[in-house]
């Protein structure tokens, strides 16, 4: 074996066999704990190659893993299998992030001058109209 080739660590597995998807997600730092990865799989927030899977489903090199985070899918292509949690630089080498950029929404927030007191009835109606509310509704 050449000296410049990296030696596999005991935490890495043989590419022919798989690793549980919850273990892999935790190992590559996509979830804070393995139990959170298991809960995400139970809730249906984890997919492998488009199929919703259980936490014990094996993931292999080349698989596409989708993890639902804060209402958006994180799309990862598996490039290496690890069984134990690794450092962030090593974790980044275990997948290719195919996630599209999240849409940016800019909100304009009306700001009143400091010390201006309570808004008058007219100012309140103008603020309600700006926010798309009917000022006649009080609820």
Q: Which residue ranges make up each domain of the chain?
A: 19-97
Is CATH 3.20.10.10 correct for 19-97? no
The Cα 29–Cα 100 span in angstroms is: 19
The Cα 137–Cα 139 span in angstroms is: 6
The Cα 68–Cα 88 span in angstroms is: 20
pLDDT in tens, 78-93: 999 999 999 999 999 9
Q: Using a cut of 0.85, tell me whether the model's pTM lies above it.
A: no
What per-residue confidence (pLDDT) applies to 135? Answer: 66
* pLDDT averaged over every residue in the chain: 85
pLDDT in tens, 21-52: 999 999 999 999 999 999 999 999 999 999 99
What per-residue confidence (pLDDT) applies to 1? Answer: 42
């Amino acid at each position: 074996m050449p000296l410049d080739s990296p030696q596999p660590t005991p935490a890495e597995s043989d590419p022919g066999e798989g690793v549980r998807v919850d273990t892999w997600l935790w190992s590559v730092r996509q979830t804070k704990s393995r139990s959170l990865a298991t809960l995400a799989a139970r809730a249906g927030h984890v997919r492998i190659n488009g199929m919703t899977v259980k936490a014990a489903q094996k993931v292999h090199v080349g698989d596409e893993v989708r993890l639902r985070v804060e209402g958006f899918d994180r799309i990862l292509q598996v490039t290496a299998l690890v069984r134990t949690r690794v450092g962030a630089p090593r974790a980044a080498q275990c997948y290719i992030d195919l996630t599209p950029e999240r849409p940016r929404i800019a909100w304009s927030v009306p700001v009143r001058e400091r010390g201006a007191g309570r808004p008058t009835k007219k100012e309140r109606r103008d603020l309600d109209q700006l926010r798309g509310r009917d000022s006649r509704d009080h609820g």
